[in-house]
Amino acid sequence: MELRGVFPPIPTPFSDGDLDVDALASNCDRWLTTGVHGLVVLGSNGEAPLLDEAESDLVIETVRARVPPGRTLIAGVARESTVGTIRAADRAARLGVDAVLVRTPSFFKTLLHDEALVAHYTAVADASPAPVLLYNFAALTGISLSLDTVTRLADHPNVVGIKESGSDIGFISSLVDDTPDGFRVLAGSAPAFYASLLSGVAGGVLALACVVPEHCVRLFELVEAGRLSEARLLQRRLTPLARLLTRVHGVPGLKAALSILGYVGGDARAPLMPVSSAAVDELRRALLSLDAPVA
């Protein structure tokens, strides 16, 4: 397993409200024709909090069957309880994922201090058959892993990295600086991708990479090759679409963009609502400006 490169956090397609396994498989096949280094299922963009346990397993099973050796499959397994997370990690590992991604619990906000989070992740990492990636998404959860907490957890042999969804580059840099060399920091903010790579992150888990995977891979490779001014220019071109897919329109926007490109997008599950037709037009224009293959 390699945790370097570009990993699209893929959405979960539905048909008449039910998980659409065929669409999920065909979408995967198409992503795998691009140079992405692996796939992430059951992340926020996969609407994980809106799926039940059986659906979650089916998503993993379906995608596992498509991802060949040499590409990394990561699955989100966070639940609010430690025991629920451990069970989900165990099932995901048995279904063959290469690593599990564990978002912070967040419901009992005032009680989730550093000690509680260290104990939670330590228990999960002790029990999980698959390597564990921490997952910090303060803007959605209202909880942030402190630098000190991450540093302590990075010493655990089964904690292999972190996905940081924010764009505070001081914090991202310190995650790189204050953890051992093999600990992988993955960027979750596409507008921060170039600067994050320059600061030492190993790659990105980017909604943008579901839509324009080749561009994201190229940005990664340009930085690897030291062709920084080209990379910076590409980042500049990608940022407006990245914002539309996350801050502005979220998962329903991501799915709409995929539909425009001929993937199976479809609606997100309620209570998420479809984007407006004006939003679809805005997304189409942004895709066209990047020469994406609009259907």
User: Rule CB under 8 A: which of 209-228 touch a second copy?
Assistant: 228
Phi, psi of 264 (to 5 degrees): -85, 110
Q: Which stretch binds a second copy (CB under 8 A): 80-88, 157-165, 207-215, 258-266?
A: 80-88
Nearer to a second copy, 14 or 71 (CB): 14
Please report whether residue 9 would count as binding a second copy according to CB under 8 A.
no
Site for a second copy in 245-264 (CB under 8 A): 247, 250-252
- Is omega for the bond preceding 191 within 30 degrees of 0, making it cis? no
Our measurement of the distance from residue 167's CA atom to the centroid of its chain's CA atoms, rounded to an integer in Å, reads 14
Per the CB < 8 A criterion, the answer to whether 190 and 206 are in contact is: yes
Q: Would you say 38 or 188 has its CB closer to a second copy?
A: 188
Does residue 52 interact with a second copy by CB under 8 A? yes
CA angle 68, 245, 23 (to 5 degrees): 40
* Residue-by-residue DSSP string for 10-30: ----EETTEE-HHHHHHHHHH
CB count within 10 Å of CB 33 equals: 9
Minimum CB separation of residue 62 from a second copy in Å reads 19
As a whole number of Å, the end-to-end CA separation of the chain is: 34
Contact letters for a second copy, residues 109-138 (x by CB under 8 A): xxxx--xxx-xx--x---------------
The correct pick among 2, 177, 281, 291 for binding a second copy (CB under 8 A) is 177
Q: Is 236 in the site for a second copy (CB under 8 A)?
A: yes
Counting Cα atoms < 13 Å in the Cβ hemisphere of 56 gives: 26
The span from the CA of 253 to the CA of 121, in Å, is 32
Nearer Cβ to a second copy (42/67): 42
Residues with a catalytic annotation lie at: 163
Interaction between residue 196 and a second copy (CB under 8 A): yes
Interface positions with a second copy (CB under 8 A): 17, 44, 49-53, 80-84, 105, 107-112, 115-117, 119-120, 123, 139-140, 142, 167-174, 177, 189-192, 194-196, 198-200, 228, 232, 235-236, 239, 247, 250-252, 269-273
